[in-house]
Amino acid sequence: MKKKLIALALASVSAVVLAGCSTGGRTSATGPAGGAGQTFGENVQLFDATQKVHESMQGKKVAFVPILYKGYNLTMNWGVSMERAFGNLGADFQVYDPNFDTDKMTRIISDLIARKAADVLILHNPDVGVLSKQIEDAQRAGIYTVVVNMISSRLGDAYIGVDNLAAAEDIAQRAVQDCEKRGAPKRLAIIDGPGNDAASLLWSKGVRNVLDPAGFEVVTTAHTQWQNSLAQQAAESIIQQQKNDFCGFLVTYDLNSVAVGDAVQSAVSRGVIPADSLGTYTMAADTVWCDALRAGRVTASASYDVQGVGTAAVVTTQQLVQTGAPAGSSHTVAFVPHTIVDRANVDNTTIACYKGQ
């Protein structure tokens, strides 16, 4: 069930960024610019383009608020892209790390809005509704909002991420094929995040879009708050209950799937289940997951262009600033590409095995 994705043209960038750091950048010949509405017209003078872009971004304050930052490959990868790009453009870029504390996250965002300490907020939404008020408040304050990776019920100016539904369908189809090839039971378990976030909801919907017509059953769905320890505990419990009377796990994100794969390997080593009786399938593929794949601890992933999400957020920010349209006056959703990776193709797939730095 392939779906056409909106492929963004994305450049790969890398640098090290720490929470709360600010960046400097090139100063344009005419100094900082104010509001940059309609920076360009229908025609452009070739040698003026660079100056105008830098003028439009010079001194702009950009705040990135992920659910977790330091030590988390996913969000650090985005932050690295943003830090270098905004630094090159002369913007002031700051990362605020709530460390998986949703209350702290909302307080940080509300404070930034109240102090008008940001021209653009780049937000990593923990569930579909928790940041709705903050996004609305930002709009009223004239602050642009760009949401990445997990869409919210209140859209903001732009959303950028993977097509969770299509990715779930594609990896579920791979799981079905593997199960049928092995003659395994037509039963799979889902392990996701909080369960009320967009990634988990779309993941479950995409999985069932494939499993139901194929005559497969979801034996259980475990919510683990994106915590590796909870994902491993959930997998251990499911294996204890089901033994090898199911075919494997569909885990919403890569790092949690490594913990699940460890639980499977432990059960095999203890003789609880036969070797190769359970597959572990997921979405995204960081370098830790790729190492686990090569070691045979996980099976396959719908790997998506994580690096591209951060770069696309930079591009979108520049577009919002250059047009100068009022915050909240338009709303867009854009998807980065994904593809299925396994041991056969992982080392030849450019969007697999991303790093945090």
DSSP state letters, 75-98? HHHHHHHHHHHHHHHT-EEEE---
In a domain, 145, yes or no: yes
Q: Does residue 297 sit in the same domain as residue 313?
A: no
149/67 Cα distance (integer angstroms): 11
Q: Does residue 245 sit in the same domain as residue 216?
A: yes
Q: Does residue 189 sit in the same domain as residue 277?
A: yes
Q: Does residue 187 sit in the same domain as residue 283?
A: yes
Q: Does residue 85 sit in the same domain as residue 135?
A: yes
For residue 282, which phi and psi values (nearest 5 degrees)? -155, -165
Domains contained in the chain, number: 2
Q: Does residue 158 sit in the same domain as residue 245?
A: no
Q: Does residue 260 sit in the same domain as residue 130?
A: no
For residue 290, which phi and psi values (nearest 5 degrees)? -60, -40
Q: What's the pTM value of the predicted model, to 2 decimals?
A: 0.87
- CATH number of 174's domain: 3.40.50.2300
- CB-CB contact of 282 with 298 (8 Å): yes
**Listed residue (352, 245, 305, 214) closest to 5, CA to CA:** 305
In a domain, 200, yes or no: yes
- Host domain of residue 79: 57-162+306-336
Q: Does residue 93 sit in the same domain as residue 123?
A: yes
Q: Does residue 295 sit in the same domain as residue 324?
A: no
Give the pLDDT confidence score for residue 186 in this predicted structure.
Answer: 98
Give the pLDDT confidence score for residue 37 in this predicted structure.
Answer: 65
Give the pLDDT confidence score for residue 121 in this predicted structure.
Answer: 98
Q: Which residue has the tokens 């630094």?
A: 87
**Number of Cβ within a 10 Å radius of residue 269:** 9
In a domain, 191, yes or no: yes
Helix, strand, or coil here: 333?
Answer: strand
Give the pLDDT confidence score for residue 247 in this predicted structure.
Answer: 98
In a domain, 42, yes or no: no
Q: Does residue 64 sit in the same domain as residue 139?
A: yes
Q: Which of 304, 323, 348 is the last residue of a domain?
A: 304
Q: Does residue 143 sit in the same domain as residue 178?
A: no
63/271 Cα distance (integer angstroms): 50
**Listed residue (142, 143, 160) closest to 152, CA to CA:** 160
Give the pLDDT confidence score for residue 24 in this predicted structure.
Answer: 40
Per-residue confidence of the chain (357 residues) as pLDDT tens digits?
A: 444 333 333 333 333 233 334 344 333 333 223 344 678 888 888 888 999 999 999 999 999 999 999 999 999 999 999 999 999 999 999 999 999 999 999 999 999 999 999 999 999 988 899 999 999 999 999 999 999 999 988 999 999 999 999 999 999 999 999 999 999 999 999 999 999 999 999 999 999 999 999 999 999 999 999 999 999 999 999 999 999 899 999 999 999 999 999 999 999 999 999 999 999 999 999 999 999 999 999 999 999 999 999 999 999 999 999 999 999 999 999 999 999 999 999 999 999 999 998
In a domain, 278, yes or no: yes
Q: Does residue 219 sit in the same domain as residue 126?
A: no
In a domain, 67, yes or no: yes
In a domain, 201, yes or no: yes
In a domain, 343, yes or no: no
